[in-house]
Amino acid sequence: MTNPIAVFLVLLILTGLGADLLFNNGDATLVIVRKFFDLIEWVAFWR
């Protein structure tokens, strides 16, 4: 991964988070974080 691609991805993620906070009060981010924690629990169970 080159530096311009990494910068573009970071800006894309930050733009998405900012749009979520602006339009949805962070609800979509909260759902994604909860699903991520569920995934971590599920993977830890199979370890």
- Does pLDDT of 18 surpass 90? yes
Question: Residue 9: which pLDDT band, with cuts at 50, 70 and 90?
Answer: very high
Domain boundaries, the chain: 3-46
Exposure class string for 3-36: b at 16+ Cβ within 10 A, else e: eeeeeeeeeeeeeeeeebeeeeeeeeeeeeeeee
- Does pLDDT of 24 surpass 80? yes
- pLDDT of amino acid 47: 72
pTM tops 0.85: no
- Chain segment 27-36, per-residue pLDDT in tens: 999 999 999 9
Percent share of the chain, pLDDT over 90: 89
